Amino acid sequence: MSIRKILTYPDKKLRNKASSILVEDILKPSFQKLITDLTTTMFHDDGVGIAATQIGEPYQIFILGRKTPEESLVFINPRITFFSRKTNFTEEGCLSVPGIFGLVKRPVKVRLKALDRTGKKIDMKISGFDAKVIQHEFDHLQGILFIDKVEKITQGDIKALESGKIPVSLKRKTDVAF
């Protein structure tokens, strides 16, 4: 396993749409290594979620962080099949948009269908903070970043980041970077 470099905004590769993975390819060592690398990288950077496009791998895989890498959930070829009508604001940050935080309005509940790291079908109803992380990661696989949807920036300076000034301190005020 290795820690991979996380692409940061405005890297154009973050705008690539991820491709789905053939079920028979999931168990191949190259994909299993990609899953392990993604999880390792997420833990290394204190993220609570990460998508493969954030490390420049154009595949439909994202991770939902748990206490340990082993417990963390892997979602392959995800589809969100239900969004609650009820929405609310959550403060979000992103490993690929360092130092920036903001309020994003999203549905509070979703239903997610995907495959796990063994290729087994997953069908989950998810609410609360996990639902927000899942929508954020799902967006990454479509080339969408939270700053496209943010309604109010609570910390940081997007213009500075665009001009290449990545903040020296990437210390996050809360556990909201994914």
- Tell me the residue type at 60: Q
Q: Can you tell me which of 61, 76, 94, 131 binds Zn ion, judged by CB under 5 A?
A: 94
115 binds Zn ion (CB under 5 A): no
Alpha carbon of 83 to those of 13, 94, 96, 132, 144: distances in Å? 27, 22, 25, 11, 17
Q: Which one of the spans 57-65, 68-76, 92-100, 149-157 is the region binding Zn ion (CB under 5 A)?
A: 92-100
110 contributes a contact to Zn ion by CB under 5 A: no
Q: Which is nearer to Zn ion, 101 or 178 (CB)?
A: 178
Of 71, 137, 151, 162, the catalytic one is 137
State the minimum distance, in angstroms, from the CB of residue 14 to Zn ion: 9
- Residue whose beta carbon is closest to Zn ion: 94
Q: Is 21 one of the binding residues for Zn ion (CB under 5 A)?
A: no
Closest approach of Zn ion to the CB of residue 127, in Å: 20
Burial class from Cβ neighbours inside 10 Å (0-12, 13-18, 19+) for residue 141 reads buried
Return the sign of the alpha-carbon dihedral for residues 65, 70, 76, 81: negative
Report in angstroms how near the CB of residue 132 gets to Zn ion at its nearest.
Answer: 11
Query: Is there a contact between 2 and 37 (Cβ–Cβ < 8 Å)?
Result: yes
Q: List residues bridging with 113 in a β-sheet.
A: 79, 123
Contact 27, 74 (CB under 8 A): no
Min. distance of Cβ 94 from Zn ion in angstroms? Answer: 3
Query: Where on the chain is the footprint of Zn ion (CB under 5 A)?
Result: 94, 178
